[in-house]
A = this chain, B = another copy of it.
Amino acid sequence: MGFKGILSFLLLFSYVANAELFVPLPAKPPVPKDNPMTSGKVELGKKLFFDSRLSLDGTVSCNSCHNVMSSGTDNRKFSAGVGGKNGDRNSPTVWNSAFLTVQFWDGREPSLEAQAKGPLTNPIEMAMKDHDLVVSRIRMIPGYVEEFKKNFPGQKEPVVIDNVAKAIASYERTLLTPDAPYDQFLKGKKNAINAAAKRGAEKVVAIGCATCHNGPNYAGPQLPEGTGFYQRFPTFADNEYAKKYDFSADPGRMKATGKAEDKGMWRVPTWRNVAITAPYFHNGAVATLDEAVLVMAKTQLNIDLKKEDVDDIVAFLTSLTGKMPKQQMPELPQTPGSTVLLQ
C-alpha cells in the first residue's frame, strides 16, 4: 500500500482522529502550584517583559525577540542581543508557550519560570553578568520594589531572581491565542476554514505529521510540566533538504545534557501561529512555510509531497493563527533624576 493507499485508508477515520488528536486551545494553561496567577503578578511581569533595562546596556527586553505585538518572535533567522551579537538558534514564539511542558528548543528548562532566567545572563542575549546584577538593578527602581513587596507579601526581600522569573512567567501564561479559525471549526463553526484547510487537516493526520504535532499546542501530548516530548530531527538525513539546510550542525538536546543519545533530539515545536513565525527550524534556515512543510515531510517521514498537498497543509497550518488578546501597554517605573543605565 503506497502513500495514496495509506492516505485513502486514513482519511476514512480522519474526523474521528482529528477529534482525538486536535483540540481547541484550552481557556487556561497549566499553572504551577508554587506560582499561582494573580493580576498583580501578571502586571508586574508584563512590565519586566517589556523593560530593556533588564539587559546590560538597556537595549534588549524579552519583547525584543518575542514580540507580543507580532508573532511572539522577531521573524529573524537568529535574534540580536546586546551589542548586535547574534544568537545561534531561532527564537520560538512566546504565544501559547504556557502549554509547552519544557522550554527552549532543546527542552533544557522545565518551566517558564526557569526559562525566564536564561536570556537575562546569556552573553549573546541580554548579557547581564549574573542574576545579582539583574536584581540589584531592579532594586534601584523604587516602583518595582513597591510592586514586588505587594505581589510577594510576607517575604523579607521580595526582589529576588526567583520572583522576577515568577512574575514574567505569570505574564507569559496570559499570552494565549484562542479562537484560531481551526479552533472555531473544531467547536462546530464549519465555515470557519476553507476546503483546502479541511483537506490539509486530514492530510497531516493521514501522512503522519500529527503523530507528533497533536495536543492543545500541536506540540505533543500535554505531559506533566518538566516532562518533554522530544523527537529526532532530521530522522531521514540522507536527502537534499537535510544537507542544504545543515540541520545536524547543531547537536540539539545533546548540547544541554551531554548525552550521546540526545544528539539531534529536539522538543517538538508548536504549530499554533506557525504561519507567522518564519523563518523556520532551530537554525532559522528555511525562509517559507511551503518549504518547511516539504522539508518536514521528507526529513521526518521520507515522503515527497506534491504541490497540492503542500498547499492544503499550509492552508490548514495558516488556520491555526489565533487571535491575539488586546493588551494595554505597561508604564515602566522610573528613576527620577537619574538613569540605571550608566555607560
Asked whether B324 lies within 8 Å of A336 as measured between CB atoms, the reply is no
Chain B residues contacting A324 (CB-CB under 8 Å) are: 331
- Is A194 close to B, CB under 8 A? no
- Is A66 close to B, CB under 8 A? no
Asked whether A287 lies within 8 Å of B321 as measured between CB atoms, the reply is no
Q: A275-B336, A276-B336, A287-B342 are in contact. Are A50 and B75 (CB under 8 A)?
A: no
- Is A303 close to B, CB under 8 A? no
Name the contact of A69 in the complex, choosing from B288, B326, B332 (C-beta under 8 A).
Answer: B332
- Is A174 close to B, CB under 8 A? no
Chain B residues contacting A189 (CB-CB under 8 Å) are: none
Chain B residues contacting A318 (CB-CB under 8 Å) are: 336-337
Chain B residues contacting A279 (CB-CB under 8 Å) are: 339
Chain B residues contacting A341 (CB-CB under 8 Å) are: 74-76
Asked whether B69 lies within 8 Å of A59 as measured between CB atoms, the reply is no
- Is A330 close to B, CB under 8 A? yes
Asked whether B58 lies within 8 Å of A74 as measured between CB atoms, the reply is yes
Interchain CA distance A233-B84 in the complex, whole Å: 34
Interchain CA distance A149-B60 in the complex, whole Å: 34
Asked whether A76 lies within 8 Å of B329 as measured between CB atoms, the reply is no
Chain B residues contacting A334 (CB-CB under 8 Å) are: 70-71, 275-276, 321
Chain B residues contacting A68 (CB-CB under 8 Å) are: 329
- Is A343 close to B, CB under 8 A? yes
Asked whether A328 lies within 8 Å of B330 as measured between CB atoms, the reply is no
What number of copies of this chain does the assembly contain? 2
Chain B residues contacting A50 (CB-CB under 8 Å) are: 69
Which of A276, A279, A329, A337 has the most chain B CB within a 10 Å cutoff? Answer: A337
Interchain CA distance A340-B77 in the complex, whole Å: 11
Asked whether A75 lies within 8 Å of B59 as measured between CB atoms, the reply is no
Interface residues of A in 68-92 (CB under 8 A from B): 68-71, 74-77, 80, 82-85
Chain B residues contacting A336 (CB-CB under 8 Å) are: 275-276, 289, 318, 321
Asked whether A58 lies within 8 Å of B75 as measured between CB atoms, the reply is yes
Interface residues of A in 279-337 (CB under 8 A from B): 279, 287-290, 314, 318, 321, 324, 326-332, 334-337
Which of A67, A69, A324 has the most chain B CB within a 10 Å cutoff? Answer: A69
Q: Which positions in A face B, CB cutoff 8 Å? A: 50, 52-53, 57-59, 64, 67-71, 74-77, 80, 82-85, 275-276, 278-279, 287-290, 314, 318, 321, 324, 326-332, 334-343
With contacts A80-B84, A328-B328, A329-B329 known, what are 5 further pairs, Cβ within 8 A? A57-B76, A59-B64, A76-B343, A83-B84, A278-B337
A-B CB contact pairs (8 Å), 30 listed? A50-B69, A53-B75, A57-B76, A58-B75, A58-B76, A59-B76, A59-B80, A67-B332, A68-B329, A69-B330, A75-B340, A75-B341, A76-B341, A76-B343, A80-B84, A82-B84, A84-B85, A275-B334, A276-B335, A278-B335, A278-B337, A287-B338, A287-B339, A287-B342, A288-B338, A289-B337, A318-B336, A326-B329, A327-B328, A328-B328
